[in-house]
Amino acid sequence: MEKKWKNRLCVLIKNLILSLLLISSIDLLAVELSPAGKMLESDILSAKMGFYALTKTTRLYHYFNPVLTGSKTGQAELWPTYQTIYDRYRPEGQIALDFAVKAGAFWDINIHDTKLVNAGPGMYLATDPLVSQNFGSSLYVIDFPIGSRVLDVSDPTWTNVSKIKLKTETLLALQSEGILNRKQIQKLGMNKGYFVRLSLQYMADYGLEKYRQLLAEIFDRHQIVLIQFSWEKNRMTWFCKSKTATDAFVYVGGRPDLPVTNTYVMSKVSRKIIDNSVFTSSYSVKEQSSKEKKIIELTDSFKKTLSEMNKDLLTSEQVQSLQQLSFGCL
């Protein structure tokens, strides 16, 4: 009798999981934009520099705390799949998995977290290796290729304005179609007539499913993979002499393939991004290629340079190389 009950319970749990995955899949499906959706799309695309493509290979940084496992010595160490070059870089390896899951939060309708996500769900990236180092023991150094598409909601004034102006007609249409109401428009920071950081931060809030699906469709249609937003001041303004160097990014990747069959909704990640990424950690890493070692050494020197504000710690060639790769450097 007990065994029969356990079998029934297993079946019920399995059916519940499949139902949740099906719901996720339905909400991730491409949809035809409504008139209000097309108006929002037009406002975003027509904004001067509010929607653009990277004009140079751009190096960004992501700190995190990977899963650790206890060793025979009792000391914490990295999960084995971070240790070998093969496990890190193969098509379904650790780097691809990390990026897909972190970026996949943008597309996952079951994620409703609006705290510590300044510009919406996704994989957060800094423009230098120093400013966000307290976010984890391990680091990804990622070179995003020329042509990567960016939605820019940066606002150095912190007054809920941006390069993306929303027409009054667009806001009225979003309300008349039942996508947003007045309170939601205010919470999303759109009441001043701009599409801003808050418009993405609170997209995951309960009751905003139609709006979130609309944004997902716009991002997918125009292959937007990065969100640019204003963050805290850093020393890149000294290194680059540029105001935009204080900005940060969120990587969202591409719309996941359907049907969703994993525990996590996983974003599509370009193979080029994986190949142009390097992993390093304060924990011991057993295998590192000469390319990884070279980039890690340069990154460590760069961190020290920014910390001490002393460019003499780098060669002139290194300074030039980092300025060419760094976002906001002219």
Query: How far apart, in whole angstroms, are the C-alpha atoms of residue 198 and residue 188?
Result: 5
Query: How far apart, in whole angstroms, are the C-alpha atoms of residue 212 and residue 208?
Result: 6
| Interval 126-159: pLDDT, tens | 999 999 999 999 999 999 999 999 999 999 888 9
* Token representation of residue 169: 């007609």
| Interval 181-218: pLDDT, tens | 999 999 999 999 999 999 999 999 999 999 999 999 99
Query: How far apart, in whole angstroms, are the C-alpha atoms of residue 121 and residue 296?
Result: 28
Res 84: pLDDT:
93
Q: Which residues in 12-156 belong to E strands, given as ranges?
A: 51-53, 58-64, 68-70, 76-78, 123-125, 138-144, 149-152
Residue 188 in contact with residue 199, Cβ under 8 Å? Answer: yes
| Interval 292-310: pLDDT, tens | 999 999 999 999 999 999 9
Residue 3's pLDDT band, with cuts at 50, 70 and 90, is: very low
The H or E element that residue 71 is part of is none
Among candidates 321, 299, 265, which has minimal Cα distance to 132? 299
Query: How far apart, in whole angstroms, are the C-alpha atoms of residue 326 and residue 143?
Result: 10
Give residue 12's Cα distance to chain centre.
35
Res 67: pLDDT:
82
Strand order in the sheet with 138-144: 58-64, 138-144, 277-281
Amino acid sitting at position 191: N
Q: Which residues contact 33 (CB under 8 A, 6 or more apart)?
A: 41, 214, 217, 218
DSSP 80-101: GGGTSHHHHHSTTSHHHHHHHH
Residue 17's pLDDT band, with cuts at 50, 70 and 90, is: very low
Res 10: pLDDT:
44
Residue 37 in contact with residue 218, Cβ under 8 Å? Answer: yes
Res 30: pLDDT:
59
Query: How far apart, in whole angstroms, are the C-alpha atoms of residue 253 and residue 272?
Result: 12
| Interval 216-266: pLDDT, tens | 999 999 999 999 999 877 888 889 877 777 799 999 999 998 655 567 889
154 exposure class (CB count in 10 Å sphere: 0-12, 13-18, 19+): buried
